[in-house]
């Protein structure tokens, strides 16, 4: 029995991964996006070994002088902060936080959104009504204020930040995947599967899910990008986790220190990283949009 | 049509009620007990009890909830923990400032996005088309605080072209909104935040307008207009753009919802005295009555604007009424 379930879930999964890789790499923009993403991923994984210094260590230069607000040099490739912290080390370790928050909240939110969308779309009727009204209510919540209030009530920790983002960000994917599920449900092969006596579970996850997969991955990419932007914004507003470094947090420190007038290097590095990472996700999602479904723009 | 509006109106009220209820639960039941801010555990037990009674916190939760709902409707939103001002007074002053900045940002996004989108579709694959797409995507990928910081660092700090923040010079608070609009200092200060918000959302209407223009340009009636020998500028703006605009209107409701979020960041960055800045400040200082009131007002703004764009859309495209039942639920 378990092997049967394994077969029905993992075989198509492998096929899907190969297919999706094909979709992304068939598009030049997709290849560029994927390579940037892989680069950031490698930096994030090996961050502690790549960072030359402790991110919260006050640095002294070769002449034993306190290295405060140094512009980029051989010694400090991306310069230092007013407290003498090495920005290059901070940037590398921050990659880890940013990618962690982005991928975890992206994955959980697409899992919730996809399941709610599939179930609402497939069953219709009362269940659909209930789930979609709930989604509507979430749409009435102002996005960033909702997250800020939750973080300030829960406490400023990484897991609560992820929780707050997940709690609201799934709403878009649920709506879109529900719409797609409804249109797939009416196709003949679903009626055929029902006639063969397939269970609802099997129809939803074995027959409908593979057909919404490109859409699902597209929204997974969107959710990751939105989570990253959201995390950066909340950190910049001072609602980040004080124990870890993130790119948004680095910019918050800059704004707080009041050194924006002089320290352009402090601004440049994290900003460029945020933009590059988000653009790489946008490029990947555009590769999907061109192949998967031209009518996706209606969110 | 009236039937449709009525039903949307009822949905809107239900959503508002639900949001208010969730807000009540959030502030009363979450681990960081909101009352700890005012009623310190270090106080005398009897004093604590008296204060709880004064705030109505000794009553059962359900009764508190009904009192909360009644107070919402009668506009008694409590007083700030920090300044002891009426929350309604603080929020209503901030409301107009937020709306002012939001409208000017959205106007910029829509006019620039639609105009540039038409031209880009017209000059397809030209350097302008490619450049416009790239610029739009970069500004979309950059969170507004990065764009805003860049503008501040270059145009304000380095070149001194614009003031660094606020809505009017310190000490020169105008007595009315007209007084404000007549101040040159106000217009100097609204440029950078408007540009920041405007550029952030630009890519969406820009690309949608461009794509739907290209779609419309492939249709028969455009061929016919060409065959009649009409000038291509006339075809572009009079014939094609009208139909392509519908796609952008669909987006307006999404944009409006997002714009409220972008507002929070931009207001904090440029010290714009709006609801977004108030939200951040009150949440940071645990001034819960103000945070709650501001959140509710922002929610009313989001829900109300969604309602308006819904109605507007069904008015512009009668076909949508039928299918919107399926899509927008």
Its ipTM equals: 0.83
CA distance B59 to A71: 60
Top-tier CATH class for A12-48+75-296: mainly alpha
- Integer-rounded Cα Rg, in Å, for chain B is 24
pLDDT value at position B328? 35
What is the rounded CA–CA span in Å between residue A178 and residue A180? 5
DSSP helix, strand, coil percent of chain A (3-state; round to 5): 75, 0, 25
3-state secondary structure A174-230: HHHHHHHHHHHHCCHHHHHHHHCCCCHHHHHHHHHHHHHHHHHHHHHHHHHHHHHHH
A183: distance to nearest CA of chain B, Å?
11
Alpha-helical segments (H) within chain B: 2-29, 45-55, 61-73, 87-122, 127-141, 144-151, 177-181, 184-217, 220-227, 232-234, 241-269, 275-284, 288-316, 320-327
Q: How far is B179 from chain A (nearest CA, A)?
A: 30
Which chain B residue shows the shortest CA-CA distance from A138? B19
| Ranges of each domain in chain B | 2-74, 87-328
* CATH superfamily assigned to domain B87-328: MetI-like (1.10.3720.10)
pTM recorded for the entire structure? 0.86
CB-based contact (8 Å) between A274 and chain B? yes
Burial annotation A125-160 (CB, 10 A radius, 16+ → b, else e): eeebeebbeebbbbbbbbbbbbbbbbbbbbebebeb
Region of A79 on the Ramachandran plot (φ > 0 left; ψ -120 to 50 alpha; else beta): left
B326–A182: do the CB atoms touch at under 8 Å?
Answer: yes
d(CA A107, CA A220): 7
| Contact with chain B for residue A268, Cβ under 8 A | no
List chain A domain ranges.
Answer: 12-48+75-296
The verdict on a CB contact (< 8 Å) between A145 and B276 is yes
Which of A32, A145, A232 is most worth mutating to test chain B (most B CB atoms within 10 A of its CB)? A145
Q: Do B251 and B260 meet the contact criterion of CB atoms below 8 Å apart?
A: no
Angstrom distance (rounded) from CA B143 to CA A257: 20
| Residues in A touching B152 (Cβ below 8 Å) | 260
What is the pLDDT, as a whole number, of residue B35? 63
The residue among B138, B145, B285 with the most chain A CBs within 10 A of its CB, best to mutate, is B145
Q: In chain A, pLDDT over 70 holds for what percent of residues?
A: 92
Range in A106-115, B252-261, B268-277 the model is least confident about: B252-261
**Residue numbers in A near B18 (CB within 8 A):** 137, 140
List, for chain A, all residue ranges whose pLDDT scores fall below the cut of 70.
1-12, 290-299
| SS3 state at A60 | strand
Is residue B60 over pLDDT 80?
A: no
Tell whether B25 is within 8 A of chain A (Cβ). Answer: no
A238 and chain B: CB distance < 8 Å anywhere? yes
CA distances from A104 to A111, A116, A202, A280 (A): 11, 18, 27, 18
Mean pLDDT, chain B, integer: 81
Which of B34, B268, B298 is opposite residue A237, by nearest beta carbon? B268
- What does the pLDDT look like over B99-117, one tens digit per residue? 889 889 988 998 999 999 9
| Contacting residues of B for A236, CB less than 8 Å apart | 143, 145, 265
CB of B301 within 8 Å of a chain A CB? The answer is yes
Mean pLDDT of B275-295: 88
Burial class (CB in 10 A: 0-12, 13-18, 19+), A88: buried
Yes or no, beta carbons of A153 and B152 under 8 Å apart = no
- CA A250, CA A94: separation in Å to the nearest integer? 8
pLDDT attached to residue A39: 93
B12-29 average pLDDT score: 87
């Amino acid at each position: 029995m378990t092997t049967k379930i394994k077969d029905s879930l993992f075989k198509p999964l492998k096929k899907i991964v190969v297919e999706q890789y094909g979709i992304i790499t068939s598009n030049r923009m997709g290849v560029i996006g994927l390579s940037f993403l892989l680069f950031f991923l490698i930096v994030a994984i090996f961050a502690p070994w790549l960072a030359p210094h402790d991110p919260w260590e006050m640095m002294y230069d070769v002449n034993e002088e306190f290295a405060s607000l140094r512009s980029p040099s051989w010694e400090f490739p991306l310069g230092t902060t007013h407290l003498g912290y090495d920005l290059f080390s901070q940037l590398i370790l921050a990659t880890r936080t940013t990618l962690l928050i982005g991928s975890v909240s992206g994955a959980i939110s697409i899992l919730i959104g996809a399941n709610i969308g599939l179930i609402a779309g497939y069953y219709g009727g009362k269940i659909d009504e209930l789930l979609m009204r709930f989604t509507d209510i979430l749409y009435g919540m102002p996005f960033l204020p909702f997250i800020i209030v939750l973080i300030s009530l829960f406490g400023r920790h990484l897991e609560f930040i992820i929780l707050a983002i997940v709690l609201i960000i799934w709403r878009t994917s649920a709506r879109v995947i529900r719409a797609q599920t409804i249109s797939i449900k009416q196709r003949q092969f679903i009626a055929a599967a029902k006639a063969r006596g397939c269970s609802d579970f099997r129809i939803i996850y074995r027959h409908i899910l593979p057909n919404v997969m490109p859409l699902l991955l597209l929204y997974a990419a969107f959710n990751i990008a939105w989570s990253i932007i959201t995390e950066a914004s909340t950190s910049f507003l001072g609602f980040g986790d004080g124990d870890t470094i993130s790119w948004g947090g680095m910019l918050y420190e800059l704004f707080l220190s009041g050194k924006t007038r002089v320290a352009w290097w402090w601004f440049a590095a994290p900003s460029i990283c945020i933009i590059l990472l988000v653009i790489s996700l946008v490029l990947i999602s555009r590769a999907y949009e061109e192949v998967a479904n031209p009518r996706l723009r209606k969110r | 049509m009236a039937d449709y509006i009525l039903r949307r109106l009822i949905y809107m009220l239900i959503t508002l009620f639900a949001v208010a209820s969730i807000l009540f639960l959030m502030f009363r039941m979450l681990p960081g007990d909101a009352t700890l801010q005012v009623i310190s555990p270090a106080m005398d037990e009897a004093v604590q009890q008296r204060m709880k009674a004064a705030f109505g916190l000794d009553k059962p939760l359900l009764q508190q909830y009904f009192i909360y709902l009644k107070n919402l409707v009668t506009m008694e939103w409590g007083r700030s923990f920090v300044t002891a001002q009426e929350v309604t007074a603080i929020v209503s002053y901030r409301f107009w400032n937020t709306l002012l900045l939001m409208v000017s940002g959205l106007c910029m996004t829509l006019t620039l996005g639609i105009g540039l989108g038409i031209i880009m579709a017209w000059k397809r694959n030209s350097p302008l088309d490619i450049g416009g797409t790239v610029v739009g995507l970069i500004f979309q990928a950059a969170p507004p605080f990065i764009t805003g910081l860049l503008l501040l660092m270059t145009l304000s700090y380095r070149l001194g072209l614009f003031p660094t923040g606020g809505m009017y010079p310190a000490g020169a608070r105008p007595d009315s909104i007209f007084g404000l609009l007549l101040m040159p200092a106000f217009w100097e200060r609204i440029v950078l935040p408007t540009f920041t918000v405007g550029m952030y959302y630009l890519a969406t209407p820009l690309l949608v307008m461009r794509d739907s223009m290209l779609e419309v340009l492939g249709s028969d009636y455009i061929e016919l207009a060409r065959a009649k020998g009409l000038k291509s500028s006339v075809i572009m703006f009079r014939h094609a753009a009208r139909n392509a605009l519908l796609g952008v209107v669909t987006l307006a409701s999404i944009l409006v919802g997002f714009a409220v979020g972008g507002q929070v960041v931009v207001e904090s960055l440029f010290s714009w005295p709006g609801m977004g800045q108030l939200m951040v400040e009150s949440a940071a200082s645990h001034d819960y009555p103000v945070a709650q009131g501001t959140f509710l007002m922002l929610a009313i703004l989001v829900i109300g604007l969604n309602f308006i764009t819904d109605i507007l859309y069904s008015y512009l495209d009668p076909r949508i009424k039928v299918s919107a039942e399926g899509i927008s639920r």
